[in-house]
Every structure is written in C-alpha cells, then in structure tokens.
Amino acid sequence: MKNIFKRLLNVKGMVVEDVSIDDSPLRDAPVLVARVRCRKAALRCSRCGRKCPKYDDGGGERRWLHQDFGCYRVELVGPAPRVECRVHGVVVSRVPWAEPGIRFTRDFEMECTWLMTVANRKTVSGFLHVAWRTAGDIAGRVAGRLESGMPCMCLCSMVLRPVERLVFSPKER
C-alpha cells in the first residue's frame, strides 16, 4: 500500500511510512495525512546542496500541503533534521519535495502557478484552499525559479510570459 501512495504522491527520494485520514473536528474537511521521510542518504544543506553532518532533529515534525487527491486535501508530515553547513551554519536539511522555508510541495506550487495562468487569484485561492495573496506569492516564487534557471519541474504547457504578466503587472497586483 505504501508503494501505491509513493507513486501517487509522485516524489522521488521519499519513503512513505504511514497514511491516514485525519477527520478531527478541528479541521473543516478530512485530510489525507502521509507520514514521509527522506531516503537514507547523506543529509544536505537546503541552501547550497552540500553534504553535511547532522546537527539535531530540528525540533519536531514539519507539514507541507500537497496536491489534493480526489475530495481529500493532502498533507505530507515528516521530520526535517538540521545540518551544520560549513558555509551557511546550522540550517534545515533539504527535502526533495519542497523548497526550504516553504510549507507547500513543489507539485502544489506548480499546480497553483499553472492555474494562475488560466484563472484569477480569487478562483485559484478558492480551488486550492489558500489565501489569494498566497496564490500570488507562490506564482511569483515559481516564476523566479524559472527565470533564474533554478532546477524545478517543467511546466509542460505553460509559457513563462503569462506568469510574468500575472505576477509583475501592477494592474493585477
């Protein structure tokens, strides 16, 4: 079963340890929670990608919002140990599914950015269950990664020009 979820979540370098549905009364809708961790490999600095020794466990679990699966929202939950980089000092280790300091997975950000090219922020924010300002910030981040040549997933049918127009045009901010 874990292998099926690993394929459905579509993240390389990840091990799915457990999957459950959280339908607590504190949430407005049930959430599919996937407990994940990085494969056993050398820990890397989230800023430069260098192999680094482990510093500590990082003070608990982190949560990342992933693409919806059917009628369920999906959260990845896992440890984010800290490493001691010679260049950057003590930082959170790199995870293959998200950028450092961001609480959304790369797949979620790519979906949001693509949707921003075909719909307005309010529609996208309602569809993805995020604030409209967050949707705009995500599109800006992804456009910045695409412009800088930073490695990120291909937006097969998306052209960079509409993203620039949506993100950087003063009329649409």
Per-residue pLDDT tens digits for 116-144: 999 988 899 999 999 989 998 999 999 88
Q: Per residue in 85-100, pLDDT tens?
A: 999 999 999 998 999 8
User: Residues of 21-52 as b/e, b for ≥16 C-beta within 10 angstroms?
Assistant: eeeeeeeeeebbbbbbbbeeeebbbbeeeeeb
Q: How confident is the model at residue 40 (pLDDT cuts 50, 70, 90)?
A: confident
User: What is the predicted pLDDT for the residue at 55?
Assistant: 93
**In percent, how much of the chain has pLDDT > 70?**
86
Is the pLDDT score of 104 beyond 70? yes
- Looking at per-residue pLDDT, the higher value among 30 and 157 belongs to 30
Is the pLDDT score of 155 beyond 60? no
User: What is the predicted pLDDT for the residue at 150?
Assistant: 59
- Do residues 163 and 143 touch, judged by C-beta distance below 8 A? yes
User: What is the predicted pLDDT for the residue at 151?
Assistant: 55
6 DSSP 8-state letter: H
Beta bridge partners of 116: none
The torsion angles phi and psi of 145, rounded to 5 degrees, stand at -65, -40
The whole-number average pLDDT for the span 11-36 is 88
